[in-house]
Amino acid sequence: MKRIGLLLMLCAVAGAAWAQAYPSRPVKVVVPWPPGQATDLAARLVAQKLQEQLGQAFVIDNRPGAGGSIGSEVVVRAPADGYTLLAASSGPISIMPLLQKTPYDAQKDFAPVSLIATVPFALVTHPSFPASNAREFVARVRANPDKYTYSSSGTGASAHLFVELFNSMAKLQARHVPYKGSAPALTDLVGGQIDYAIETVAGTIGHVKSGRLKMLGTTFARRTAATPDVPSLAEAADLPGYDIGAWIGYTAPPGTPHEILARLSGEIQKAMQAADLKERYLALGLDAASGTPEEMGAFMQSQRERYAAVIKGANIKIEQ
């Protein structure tokens, strides 16, 4: 027994020493989206901080395609040594596997490191919509079933799920108009062809400031840092429990040693305290977030369950 105890102690010491030596060479961060997308921008800002703190290059490798599943699979198949990380996000990990087959098991193939951002969305309407706040909006749409239309960036997309949950909780009936991406969906909303949408704060705030859209509330239970004067929909529309949005984080291949995950998580938590990073996030419409691998794992599971309930409740299906 003493020999076993000594062996376990030596393994723990060796693991701690290995983690302290990490990283000894450049680390690749795979972003499964094109440059300039929210996940890419957030991942780059954090990678730069990690590079400064750890003295090794954190190199962004964009691998877009198939809704983020191509780049995600690259990391899942990579060596579990901490030198290949994924800029993970809710779409390819929390939502896509619930709607279609993916080349990975979303519940087993991603070793959580830390969240790096939460992505608030907002209920927006054309300025001519006859409601000055969320309660008036709910009352009008509820009183006119199937009269109004809402857009999304596609069936099963985050924006679609968030509106479905909102409509369900507020007891609204409206017609869904899916688009191929947020840009055309917002174009028709600004043009008055669509009545409302729930889209990212980052994608809508410019239109709101210019007067082309009206923002009635945001989707997280708390107010977002980018729009502190805009109430949450839980508050503004009297919908306790309406608390949903997208997320971005770092994950690693399955089997990555916990010592490496914990080291990275600690460094990310440190990075997220930097004033310049928070300022950049504010400009991007992102809320800073971080935590331990265990906290991120629990968060990912809770988000999967939340999205699954919305998909089942609204009977959302996409063509394979």
Q: How many domains does the chain have?
A: 2
Tell me, yes or no, whether 96 lies in a domain.
Answer: yes
pTM over 0.85: yes
In this structure, are 125 and 224 located in the same domain? yes
In this structure, are 52 and 67 located in the same domain? yes
pLDDT at 318: 83
In this structure, are 231 and 259 located in the same domain? no
Q: Choose one of 216, 236, 256: the last residue of a domain.
A: 236
Chain-wide mean pLDDT for the chain?
93
Lowest mean pLDDT among 16-20, 236-240, 302-306: 16-20
In this structure, are 259 and 186 located in the same domain? no
Tell me, yes or no, whether 35 lies in a domain.
Answer: yes
pLDDT surpassing 70 at residue 169? yes
Work out the average pLDDT over 189-209. Answer: 95
Tell me, yes or no, whether 3 lies in a domain.
Answer: no
In this structure, are 46 and 109 located in the same domain? yes
In this structure, are 83 and 229 located in the same domain? no
Work out the average pLDDT over 132-152. Answer: 98
Q: Domain containing 197 — which CATH number? A: 3.40.190.10
Work out the average pLDDT over 121-134. Answer: 97
Tell me, yes or no, whether 262 lies in a domain.
Answer: yes
Q: Choose one of 201, 219, 236: the last residue of a domain.
A: 236
In this structure, are 113 and 129 located in the same domain? no
pLDDT surpassing 60 at residue 278? yes
Q: Which domain holds residue 223?
A: 121-236
pLDDT surpassing 90 at residue 190? yes
In this structure, are 209 and 278 located in the same domain? no
Which of the given ranges, 18-27, 152-161, 247-256, has the highest pLDDT on average? Answer: 247-256
Note the pLDDT tens digit of each residue in 55-111: 999 999 999 999 999 999 999 999 999 999 999 999 999 999 999 999 999 999 999
pLDDT at 19: 58
User: How does DSSP assign the chain, residue by residue?
Assistant: -HHHHHHHHHHHHHHHHHHHH--SS-EEEEESS-TTSHHHHHHHHHHHHHHHHHSS-EEEEE---GGGHHHHHHHHTS-SSSSEEEEEEHIIIIIHHHHS--SS-TTTS-EEEEEEEEE-EEEEE-TTSS-SSHHHHHHHHHHSTTT-EEEESSTTSHHHHHHHHHHHHHT---EEEE-SSHHHHHHHHHTTSS-EEEEEHHHHHHHHHTTSSEEEEESSSSPPTT-TTSPBHHHHTT-TT----EEEEEEE-TT--HHHHHHHHHHHHHHTT-HHHHHHHHHHT-EE----HHHHHHHHHHHHHHHHHHHHHHT-----
In this structure, are 113 and 258 located in the same domain? yes
Note the pLDDT tens digit of each residue in 5-44: 544 454 444 445 555 789 999 999 999 999 999 999 999 9
The percentage of the chain sitting over the pLDDT mark of 70, rounded to a whole number, equals 93
pLDDT surpassing 50 at residue 277? yes
pLDDT surpassing 50 at residue 299? yes
Tell me, yes or no, whether 7 lies in a domain.
Answer: no
pLDDT surpassing 70 at residue 208? yes
In this structure, are 128 and 215 located in the same domain? yes
In this structure, are 113 and 30 located in the same domain? yes
pLDDT at 4: 52
In this structure, are 113 and 256 located in the same domain? yes
Q: How many residues does the chain have?
A: 320
Tell me, yes or no, whether 319 lies in a domain.
Answer: no
